[in-house]
């Protein structure tokens, strides 16, 4: 796997169903601790709501998936919310829906639809972005050649993360994982064989 989707931004959208209010909130997170902190923040901010149901998906391969009905009838809130996240194929995302009861019972089917619709509305507002796996390299260069090499790399779609200057310049770059094998040949061509990139790991961007 070299790419996956997550939410582009934090978003909150309120819908109303038979006088009950459902505030759907989605946010990008990178760990279970961060996801649970978002849920706790919703509880504090909306302390007068009766329920704060949640679901989250984490990891490039959606390895971690959790949901919580928070007192609603089993299977009517957290699980449907999780299904919406799965259906949109987003990961590293937490969804929280805070509900204020409006005096009319919705029934199991009504709750499933309302919680699902609140998450869908928040996801529509948030949008998505694609995270891509990048290979990281350090590329040595003479001081006099560093700026030109940086420009040449950027023009070819290589992300230059920064440059350190010591006895020589050292460019820190990120290359799409699928292009990593060809990267040393590109650097050799750009520097007439004077520089050899050193692989230093991988990361997900943005």
* Amino acid 1: pLDDT: 86
pLDDT score of 116: 98
> From first to last of its 206 residues, what are the pLDDT tens digits of the chain?
899 999 999 999 999 999 999 999 999 999 999 999 999 999 999 999 999 999 999 999 999 999 999 999 999 999 999 999 999 999 999 999 999 999 999 999 999 999 999 999 999 999 999 999 999 999 999 999 999 999 999 999 999 999 999 999 999 999 999 999 999 999 999 999 999 999 999 999 88
Residue 29 has phi, psi (to 5 degrees) of -140, 165
The residues that bridge with 58 in the sheet, in sequence order, are: 64
* Architecture of the 3-126 domain: 2-Layer Sandwich (3.30)
CATH 3.30.479.10 fits 133-205, yes or no: no
Please state, as a whole number, how many other Cβ atoms lie within 10 Å of the Cβ of residue 129. Answer: 14
Q: What is the pTM of this model?
A: 0.87
| DSSP string computed for 37-104 | HHHHHHHHHTTT-SEEEEEEEESTT--EEEEE-TTSSTTSSHHHHHHHHHHHTB-SEEEEEEEE--SS
Q: Collapsing DSSP states into helix, strand and coil, what is residue 114?
A: helix
pLDDT at 133: 97
Domain ranges in the chain are 3-126, 133-205
What is the predicted pLDDT for the residue at 206?
87
| Helix then strand then coil, % of the chain, to nearest 5 | 35, 40, 30
């Amino acid at each position: 796997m070299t790419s996956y989707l997550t939410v582009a931004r934090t978003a909150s959208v309120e819908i109303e169903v038979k006088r009950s209010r459902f505030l759907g909130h989605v946010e990008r997170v990178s760990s279970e601790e961060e996801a649970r902190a978002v849920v706790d923040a919703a509880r504090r901010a909306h302390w007068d709501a009766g329920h704060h149901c949640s679901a989250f998906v984490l990891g490039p391969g959606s390895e971690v998936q959790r949901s919580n009905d928070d007192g609603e009838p089993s299977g009517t809130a957290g699980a449907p919310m999780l299904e919406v996240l799965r259906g949109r194929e987003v990961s590293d995302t937490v969804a929280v829906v805070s509900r204020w009861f409006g005096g009319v019972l919705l029934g199991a089917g009504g709750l499933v639809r309302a919680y699902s619709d609140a998450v869908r509305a928040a996801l529509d507002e948030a949008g998505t972005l694609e995270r891509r796996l990048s290979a990281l390299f350090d590329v040595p260069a003479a001081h006099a050649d560093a700026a030109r090499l940086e420009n040449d790399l950027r023009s070819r779609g290589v992300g230059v993360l920064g440059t350190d200057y010591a006895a020589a310049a050292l460019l820190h770059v990120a290359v799409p994982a699928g292009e990593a094998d060809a990267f040393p040949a590109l650097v050799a061509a750009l520097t007439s064989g004077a520089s050899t990139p050193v692989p230093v790991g991988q990361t997900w961007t943005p």
